[in-house]
């Protein structure tokens, strides 16, 4: 049988390239209305009065008072209102939703509505926290008291915008008592569950269907639930199809972004080794907590990344500020922490006068070591081999030596990292309880029934391949239509690098079941549900045990040239080696590698977003700079096999891994090129200019 890793054309390539793929804005329904949000211009204010002008026929306005049940978006933290009620807490917070039969009338009505506010004093600094978490490993206190030396640094990271090609959008329809929402989403059941809570209706009164998704990167994990709840209220009342598509500016101004962070790290050094690290990470959650607590967990769990540090004292806060809520974004807290720890280990190595490379390598994780939370790295770790491979590909050792010479303005940086696959802790077993089905029809075609979304990452191709391979069926006998909550069970959200490993693993098991029971020409369905491997133990309260069932690993090397006249950074080359267990399709993994690296490296040196008094200054794709093909360097990526027992054909998570190490690799390269320490990203030309100026004075 063929190797599953052998690439096939992506199953959705043709419809996307030919333009036949149907995105939510392509839906045109009879008597379709349009919706637009009235938003707060204030970062914090009391709503004094709302003045709605006489509405033209067909125009309607909805707000907090129209919510049938709960005025919050169902998430882990229930502090995020569907519509602001008494106060607004960030610029752009939704106050009302206007629906009109045409867009001109819609715009005119939105502009004519007057909301009176009493401005309050907003908070932009990290003062009030909504979430606090902490865990320890070993005895950090003792290690600090016995240390030869203590080294301390603080690392900062900025916002990052997902910049998916397709802005957020939904269309809602109503038929026979059922409200259906078709949207650009990652998590059909998150949306459905949010609707049930806000509408207070029965299961069968709402249905959620995924339209083709033009990119998501985490940005369509929790935010769509907010839009869906608002729209559903209007759809159920008016019983008409209503469309709400954000414009780029609206999308960038009000949707979730990557949390800005500040991480203080202290290390206790003895005998040339890091004996303990004390780390405190602060995340800016924005106005509402949302998923920030889980993002904080993942950040904290990545504290020692690919190193084994015997003693740890880790804590974190997610702070509430009067800014747009931050949320899920590929990497989910890990990029912030991996930037901090990779720079810190490098900086410690330098401070100790050791070669940072050798210093770091001394601390590298080995199979059987204890994780940050005293779980066990049970599976083989191939990092030694991967580092050797990557350094050889990049000619790292020669370059790192050559670029130490003054005035060459070149640098090469390297990051080592892991990414926990699937939900943190007991999330998979206790919260998600993923369920998948395979339905076989009379024509012996097999239908994949899962809630997993293909947002460009290739889930449709890889999941079909898995099922087809197990059943030894041609690919076109295996059908995978976009999820519809009336048709598919809840196999969980399409997040956390879990789809191939967890959903794919369940599908492989279901396919085995189907294979054993196969009856030609008979229609029936098989089901599988997630069971945690017994050896996985996790205590949510103390954050102790196995935080993840498996880890994917990676090495990134980035080479740059910095222009000494303009401080512009030219990325010259990127070399990477990844262990994702087993590639379910080589080309798809290479796509993830190239895309993730571009996004991760750009996070480190290019992508800038900032707010002034709660107003984001980077309002569109002219202001918010993501790399073009001209900015990206040639890449050389290698994937090595290290099959994981519970993944389909050994596959582990691959979606986030390629992003999380980009920033420290490019930052280290820039650091070498300019001979100045970098503790803050993005390391823009403006930041480099500041570093150069500071020292030359």
Partner 1 sequence: MRHIIPETLEEALHVIAQGPTIKLAGGTDIMVKHRASQGLAAKLRQDVVYLLNVPDLHYIRKEDNGLRIGGMVPIETLLHHDDVPKILRDTLLDFASPGLRYVATLAGNIANASPAGDALVTLYALDALVRLKSLERTRDVPIEAVIVGPSQTTIQDDELIESVFLPDASFTHTEWRKVGTRRADAISKVAFTGCVTLDNDIVQDIRLAFGAVFKTVYRNRSLEKALIGQHRHDVVKQSDALCEKYLENIAPIDDQRSNASYRNTVTKNLLKAFIEKLS
Residues 388, 416: Cα–Cα separation, whole Å: 12
Residues 499, 452: Cα–Cα separation, whole Å: 7
SS3 96: strand
Instruction: Please list every residue from 193 through 222 that binds partner 1, using CB under 8 A.
Output: none
Q: How many residues are listed for the chain in this entry?
A: 697
DSSP conformational letter for 597: H
Stretch of 67-75, 127-135, 409-417, 620-628 lying at the interface with partner 1 (CB under 8 A) = 620-628
Q: Which is nearer to partner 1, 170 or 416 (CB)?
A: 170
Binding mask 482-501 for partner 1 (x = CB under 8 A): --------------------
CA angle 568, 569, 570 (to 5 degrees): 120
Q: What is the nearest approach in angstroms of partner 1 to the Cβ of residue 31?
A: 16
Q: What is the nearest approach in angstroms of partner 1 to the Cβ of residue 690?
A: 7
Residues 520, 540: Cα–Cα separation, whole Å: 47
Within 8 A by CB and 6+ apart from 43, the residues are: 89, 90, 91, 122, 124, 322, 323, 613, 614, 615
Residues 489, 604: Cα–Cα separation, whole Å: 39
DSSP conformational letter for 270: E
Residue identified by tokens 């590698």 is: 593
SS3 130: strand
Site for partner 1 contains 103 (CB under 8 A): yes
Q: Which is nearer to partner 1, 125 or 628 (CB)?
A: 628
Q: Which is nearer to partner 1, 244 or 511 (CB)?
A: 244
Q: What's the chain's Rg over C-alpha atoms?
A: 25
Q: How many residues bind partner 1 (CB under 8 A)?
A: 30
Site for partner 1 contains 516 (CB under 8 A): no
Site for partner 1 contains 15 (CB under 8 A): no
DSSP conformational letter for 431: I
Binding mask 666-695 for partner 1 (x = CB under 8 A): -------------------xx--xx--x--
Stretch of 39-47, 102-110, 530-538, 593-601 lying at the interface with partner 1 (CB under 8 A) = 102-110
Q: What is the nearest approach in angstroms of partner 1 to the Cβ of residue 266?
A: 32
Q: What is the nearest approach in angstroms of partner 1 to the Cβ of residue 184?
A: 15
Q: Which is nearer to partner 1, 245 or 577 (CB)?
A: 245
Binding mask 16-35 for partner 1 (x = CB under 8 A): ------------------x-
Q: Which is nearer to partner 1, 392 or 610 (CB)?
A: 610
Q: Which is nearer to partner 1, 230 or 482 (CB)?
A: 230
Reference 387, options 646, 92, 665; nearest CA is 665
User: What would the two tokens of residue 144 be?
Assistant: 């600090």
- How many C-beta atoms lie closer than 10 Å to residue 363's C-beta? 18
Q: 174 pairs with which residues across the strands? A: 179
Binding mask 625-664 for partner 1 (x = CB under 8 A): x-xxxxx---------------------------------
308 near 363, Cβ under 8 Å? yes
Q: Which is nearer to partner 1, 668 or 684 (CB)?
A: 684
Residues 629, 624: Cα–Cα separation, whole Å: 16
Q: Which is nearer to partner 1, 149 or 247 (CB)?
A: 247
Residues 568, 560: Cα–Cα separation, whole Å: 10
Binding mask 51-90 for partner 1 (x = CB under 8 A): ----------------------------------------
Binding mask 153-182 for partner 1 (x = CB under 8 A): ------------------------------
Q: What is the nearest approach in angstroms of partner 1 to the Cβ of residue 693?
A: 7
Site for partner 1 contains 104 (CB under 8 A): yes
Q: What is the nearest approach in angstroms of partner 1 to the Cβ of residue 566?
A: 5
Instruction: Please list every residue from 227 through 256 that binds partner 1, using CB under 8 A.
Output: 245, 247
Question: Three-state secondary structure along 648-659?
Answer: HHHCCCCCCHHH
DSSP conformational letter for 426: T
Binding residue (CB under 8 A) for partner 1 from 397, 623, 645, 695: 623
Site for partner 1 contains 622 (CB under 8 A): yes
Residue identified by tokens 């029934």 is: 449
Instruction: Please list every residue from 552 through 611 that binds partner 1, using CB under 8 A.
Output: 564-568, 570, 606, 610
Stretch of 421-429, 467-475, 619-627, 639-647 lying at the interface with partner 1 (CB under 8 A) = 619-627
Q: Which is nearer to partner 1, 281 or 663 (CB)?
A: 663
Residues 504, 452: Cα–Cα separation, whole Å: 10
Residue 433 φ then ψ, to 5°: 45, 55
Cis bond before residue 682 (omega within 30° of 0): yes
Binding residue (CB under 8 A) for partner 1 from 298, 498, 618, 680: 618
- Cα 180 to Cα 59, 100, 177, 593, 691: the distances in Å are 21, 19, 10, 36, 54
Q: What is the nearest approach in angstroms of partner 1 to the Cβ of residue 238?
A: 19
Residues that bind partner 1 (CB under 8 A): 34, 103-104, 107, 245, 247, 564-568, 570, 606, 610, 617-619, 622-623, 625, 627-631, 685-686, 689-690, 693
């Amino acid at each position: 049988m063929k190797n599953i890793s052998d690439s096939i054309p992506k199953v959705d390539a043709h419809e996307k390239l030919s333009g036949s793929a149907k995105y939510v804005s392509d839906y045109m329904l009879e008597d379709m209305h349009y919706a637009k949000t009235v938003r707060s211009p204030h970062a914090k204010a009391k709503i004094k009065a709302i003045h709605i002008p006489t509405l033209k026929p067909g125009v309607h306005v909805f707000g907090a008072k129209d919510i049938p049940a709960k005025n919050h978006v169902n998430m882990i933290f229930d502090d995020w209102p569907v519509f602001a009620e008494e106060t607004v807490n960030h610029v752009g917070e939704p106050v009302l939703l206007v629906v009109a039969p045409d867009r001109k009338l819609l715009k005119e009505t939105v502009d004519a509505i007057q909301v009176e506010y009493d401005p309050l004093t907003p908070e932009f600094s990290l003062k009030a926290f909504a979430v606090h978490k902490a865990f320890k490993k070993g005895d950090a206190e003792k290690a600090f008291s016995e240390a030869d030396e203590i080294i301390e640094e603080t690392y900062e990271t900025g916002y990052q915008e997902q910049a998916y090609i397709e802005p957020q959008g939904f269309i809602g329809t109503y038929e026979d008592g059922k409200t259906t929402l078709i949207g650009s989403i990652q998590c059909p059941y998150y949306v459905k569950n949010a609707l049930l809570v806000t509408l207070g209706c029965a299961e069968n009164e709402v249905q959620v269907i995924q339209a083709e998704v033009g990119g998501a990167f985490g940005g369509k994990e929790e935010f769509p639930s907010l839009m869906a709840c608002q729209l559903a209220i209007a759809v159920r009342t008016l019983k008409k199809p209503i469309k709400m598509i954000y414009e780029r500016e609206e999308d960038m101004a009000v949707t979730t972004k990557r949390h800005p962070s500040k991480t203080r790290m202290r290390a206790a050094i003895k005998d040339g080794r890091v004996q303990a690290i004390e780390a405190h990470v602060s995340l800016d959650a924005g106005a509402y907590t949302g998923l920030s607590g889980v993002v904080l967990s993942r950040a904290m769990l990545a504290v020692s990344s690919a190193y084994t540090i015997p003693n740890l004292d880790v804590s974190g806060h997610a702070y509430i500020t009067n800014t747009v809520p931050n949320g899920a974004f590929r990497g989910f807290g890990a990029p912030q922490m991996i930037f901090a720890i990779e720079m810190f280990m490098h900086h410690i190595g330098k401070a100790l006068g050791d070669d940072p490379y050798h210093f770091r390598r001394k601390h590298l994780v080995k199979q059987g070591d204890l994780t940050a939370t005293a779980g066990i790295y049970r599976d083989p770790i191939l990092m030694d081999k991967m580092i050797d491979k990557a350094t050889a590909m990049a000619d790292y050792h020669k370059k790192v030596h050559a670029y130490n010479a003054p005035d060459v303005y070149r640098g090469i940086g390297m990051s080592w990292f892991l990414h926990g696959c699937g939900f943190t802790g007991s999330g998979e077993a206790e919260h998600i309880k993923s369920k998948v089905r395979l339905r076989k029809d009379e024509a012996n075609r097999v239908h994949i029934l899962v809630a997993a979304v293909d947002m460009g990452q290739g889930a449709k191709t890889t999941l079909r391949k898995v099922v087809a391979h197990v059943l030894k069926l041609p690919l076109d006998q295996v059908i995978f239509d976009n999820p519809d909550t009336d048709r598919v069970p809840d196999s969980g959200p399409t997040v956390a690098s879990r789809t191939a490993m967890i959903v794919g693993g369940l599908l492989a098991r279901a396919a085995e079941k189907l294979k054993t029971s196969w009856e030609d020409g008979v229609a029936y369905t098989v089901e599988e549900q997630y069971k945690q491997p017994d050896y996985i133990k996790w205590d949510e309260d103390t954050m102790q045990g196995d935080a993840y069932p498996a880890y994917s690993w990676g090495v990134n090397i980035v080479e740059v040239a910095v222009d000494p006249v303009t401080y512009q950074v030219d990325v010259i080359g990127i070399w990477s080696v990844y262990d994702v267990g087993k590639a379910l399709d080589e080309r798809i993994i290479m796509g993830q590698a190239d895309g993730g690296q571009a996004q991760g490296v750009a996070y480190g040196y290019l992508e800038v977003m900032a707010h002034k008094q709660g107003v984001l200054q980077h309002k569109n794709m002219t202001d918010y700079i993501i790399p073009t093909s001209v900015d990206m360097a040639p890449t050389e990526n290698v994937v090595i096999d290290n099959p994981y027992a519970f993944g389909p054909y050994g596959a582990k998570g691959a979606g986030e891994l390629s992003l999380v190490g980009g920033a420290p690799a490019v930052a280290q390269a820039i650091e070498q090129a300019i001979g100045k320490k970098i503790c803050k990203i993005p390391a823009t030309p403006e930041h480099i200019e500041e570093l150069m100026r500071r020292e030359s004075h």
